[in-house]
Structure 1
């Protein structure tokens, strides 16, 4: 890179110098001083001269220009941390100001990647010192020759493993009457086409702020006024903080979850706008537990084995290698249940969900059934479900006998008031087995064996915990996209998630699949984690999702309420979980049972 000073002066910041050799250009040259003052060009020229910008190299020029304008930028380190140190990559940004953000992004990225190029409006050619930053295009004239040349330059730059920045809107954000907010115009799909052709990841970067009310009001009168006011707007950024924020690199695999370039483009745009802090509410600190009791010691293994040996054979549901699945009640296996509560607390604490007590227990442990996996080789419990049999629990009581009645108001028409159901909850797999296939599979095979023994249970319902290890935006997205059947139930304490209006635009344009939701969540989460495994499990079974509530008895953890009509689940999964008893379970008719009595 050539950092040698250029001959001064270099940039001629006068409208007359930019005027074409036409009749209109001649008139502009004559009236140039008037227009320079009106449009703020004279003021810009004074900054150029007072800061001695003439002839500086591009990095010195841009830094001094930003200092001269009084622009302050935050969030720089967060963005730089997400950019690959080498290799092709596309960065896309919203366009709130129209000019200065191009200089900001170019300057910051060039500090770490000398191979940075920014696709920019030809208007920035007024600054000759920084032209090397840019690949120029003219979004106001889509058929202009310069645009075709610019696209070829972008492609070649990525082919050489460069870093490319694109402002897909192509013009400054403006007030949109139909949306009743300031937003970018529809994004051009060039970034998506370049990414898919060159196998380049995309990093969406949100740039905070907006131009003045006067700017947007004048733009509503006549759209060309926005262009004429851009220079003036730069001087309103004095001592103004422009925040940059991003999430994760989006891979081609994530893009391919969406059908067609338009939907891919909408996905990338949404990922950008999700970084708007005006629509971000962090978890409240007072909702996070800070003190924890010491967990109770492990229960004697011999005592647990003795309890298991005394269970009726029908409660020994299945075996796999050294593992067995059982179910029992607290009065039958008090020490096993105590160990389950100990392991629950240990496991839930890692998810920011623990009770903070010495073990995770409540009065419902005494009335609910416990279905669990015992590892005979290591003589330990490795996972469990707590299951409420609603017909037994409500036989001599009412809905208050159900744990989830503490979290939700169930109307008489809700499924757990209409037929015998299994209320599923408090599931866990210990850390050593969370990455193995057998943990969750054995629990579900155990559930399958239990319902085959008790075929009058046709419906499962419960909550999927949405841990506070998730970003609140992810939880809000899961709630917004998954909840479709709100009839008959409401949360006692609702999840008050906040989402950018762009989310509504995205969802209303087309249905969002679970894989697409996964792509959205993985784009947001700092560690790239996916939606909860249990959510996927229930979704595959054909679950309906009813509402999201806050479990005040479980460290204020959000929980997504769902129900599954088990006989209607996909045949492949029923074969897997119910085995040879599948057909008998599906064909079960309670009236046949009654007629035999």
Structure 2
């Protein structure tokens, strides 16, 4: 234990009062104020714990032990921070003092080059002054703030780890929001991150100060500062959770235009870490016992079936790959292989049925559009497509798979136009990152509609795997779903979002790139929104509602429709090719024997 008389804290109000008229007036009654403000109890804790003159890390450890504060999640925060190199950590400010000590202790133990931009109030502890770069948030134009900002820029420029509490002051009750939350965040952390190209990690710190603290703050805001010591000593046996998701990289920040928008994005990512608003996925009543996958279908039989298909059912050729469509009665071996590959692929996404293959009675009535690799004699991806004019009779939607997930009202169903219901799409794992996988499927769809131009509208769902965090699905639902009339999910998705997220989405129009940045910030593995969602979004899809597919491992799915002739011309050229003009100039013939379309 190393002690020095140079770093001993004088925990009395008298020692903190400035040599001014007000200071001289308060000094005689300062012992009484020490009792009222809890400073005397903080002094007792300081003496009892033998904290005087300790080295900063030991001081912090003992102080937190004396307070009885239990810290949960510190290792999770550290795991997100690079061991070296410039990095910025931003945190909310729920208590005013103790969180600065906690963050300083944890991060300094991991990286000795940690500096925390902190309120002057923490100068009360001389032993830990070395942790901090002090600023005065109550006086923005104070000279100390200019110096602090310069020090922060220099520290990051020197490849250091910088911690900032951007609110500058403790969280407080805000009547307009009807909740306790941070004030508007200062933009200094974002300005440094952008200028120095530093990654930034938002950390959420749980909890809040007492009701009395917030009541007094409503009477006069400076009472909050006076009560900080009192609040600190009241933290006996209090658990404080630290939660961080992903390090935000400069390219994610760049999805937002301007420092203000970037700052709001990072603040939102901080509050999205608040697990109070996390509604976990409902566990299945019974644990699924996965059956062994059926053997691979006979490759020779598959090749024979494809050779016997009419030439018109061969849609696209690229190198060794060919896109075909067919029906189960034409290609039973190929369809069996498709069901096998679907189950394998869907299990990887926590969407598998658990059966030996993924099949149901719809396979017999739906068209199967798929990619066959002749070189390896294998199927690499497929879509299951329902032709509504063939499936619906007398306005009956029960023959459509989507009717299992959604209740369609009469105004949502157009009985005069045939459409295509798109579903059960997959690309095998080996080709999911390839250029040709999804592109070939969509070129196949384009070739099919050009041969059958009566199909103008595509319907389907985008599965949002339960491997996604429920908060990501809730964000996707809030951002992309814009049209709910005429249809409702039989089992609606019921996700919740933090009030800060609700405010953000109400005040900002979020585009797909920004939605990606939000989701990547939440997901533990940093995954983006589904590729298929992006595909439909670029086609100009309307997203109608989000439901839970109880027949598909309770997977959430977005119901959507695409008016194909009105899709962006760039994509129509890509998918429809030379037949685009003929498709666009086709005049649909009104029919009366049932169809399925959205208005």
Bin for the TM-score computed over the shorter chain: over 0.9
How big is the shift at 1:418? Answer: 5.4
What residue ranges of structure 1 are gaps of 5+ in the alignment?
none
* Structure with higher RCO (Cα < 8 A, 6+ apart): 2
Could you give the per-residue CA deviations for residues 110-161 of structure 1, whole angstroms, max 9, x where no partner exists?
A: 0011111100010111111100000000000011000000000001101111
How big is the shift at 1:283? Answer: 2.0
Could you give the per-residue CA deviations for residues 399-432 of structure 1, whole angstroms, max 9, x where no partner exists?
A: 1111010000111222565521110000011111
1:201 aligns with: 199
Aligned residues of 1:289 and 1:356 also touching (Cα < 8 A): no
TM-score (norm 2): 0.97
Mapping 1:28-39, distance limit 5 Å: 28-39=26-37
SS at match of 2:351: coil
Of 465, 468, 471, 2:466 maps to 468
**Cα distance between partner residues in 1 of 2:591 and 2:480:** 37
SS at match of 1:31: helix
Decide whether aligned partners of structure 1 residues 582 and 289 sit closer, same or farther in structure 2, where only a CA change above 3 A counts: farther
How big is the shift at 1:377? Answer: 0.8
Mapping 1:156-555, distance limit 5 Å: 156-286=154-284, 289-395=287-393, 398-415=396-413, 417=415, 419-555=417-553
2:557 aligns with: 559
SS at match of 2:137: coil
Decide whether aligned partners of structure 1 residues 580 and 415 sit closer, same or farther in structure 2, where only a CA change above 3 A counts: farther
What residue ranges of structure 2 are gaps of 5+ in the alignment?
593-599
Of 24, 27, 31, 2:25 maps to 27
Decide whether aligned partners of structure 1 residues 416 and 344 sit closer, same or farther in structure 2, where only a CA change above 3 A counts: farther
1:135 aligns with: 133
Could you give the per-residue CA deviations for residues 80-107 of structure 1, whole angstroms, max 9, x where no partner exists?
A: 1011100010000000001110011001
Aligned residues of 1:288 and 1:555 also touching (Cα < 8 A): no
Aligned residues of 2:173 and 2:180 also touching (Cα < 8 A): yes
**Cα distance between partner residues in 2 of 1:17 and 1:90:** 34
2:597 aligns with: none
How big is the shift at 1:397? Answer: 6.1
Mapping 1:89-168, distance limit 5 Å: 89-168=87-166
Aligned residues of 1:287 and 1:555 also touching (Cα < 8 A): no
* Farther-moved stretch of structure 1 (544-553 vs 8-17): 8-17
How big is the shift at 1:236? Answer: 2.1
**Cα distance between partner residues in 2 of 1:153 and 1:288:** 58
Aligned residues of 2:341 and 2:428 also touching (Cα < 8 A): yes
Decide whether aligned partners of structure 1 residues 590 and 9 sit closer, same or farther in structure 2, where only a CA change above 3 A counts: closer
The answer to whether the aligner puts 1:13 opposite 2:1 as a matched pair is no
**Cα distance between partner residues in 2 of 1:397 and 1:220:** 61
Could you give the per-residue CA deviations for residues 248-267 of structure 1, whole angstroms, max 9, x where no partner exists?
A: 10011100100111110000
**Cα distance between partner residues in 2 of 1:592 and 1:350:** 43
Could you give the per-residue CA deviations for residues 15-36 of structure 1, whole angstroms, max 9, x where no partner exists?
A: 1111111221112211110110
The CA RMSD over aligned residues, in Å, is 1.5
**Cα distance between partner residues in 1 of 2:523 and 2:286:** 19
Could you give the per-residue CA deviations for residues 438-473 of structure 1, whole angstroms, max 9, x where no partner exists?
A: 111111011001101111110111001001111111
* Farther-moved stretch of structure 1 (297-306 vs 265-274): 297-306
TM-score (norm 1): 0.97
Could you give the per-residue CA deviations for residues 287-315 of structure 1, whole angstroms, max 9, x where no partner exists?
A: 68541011111111111112112211111
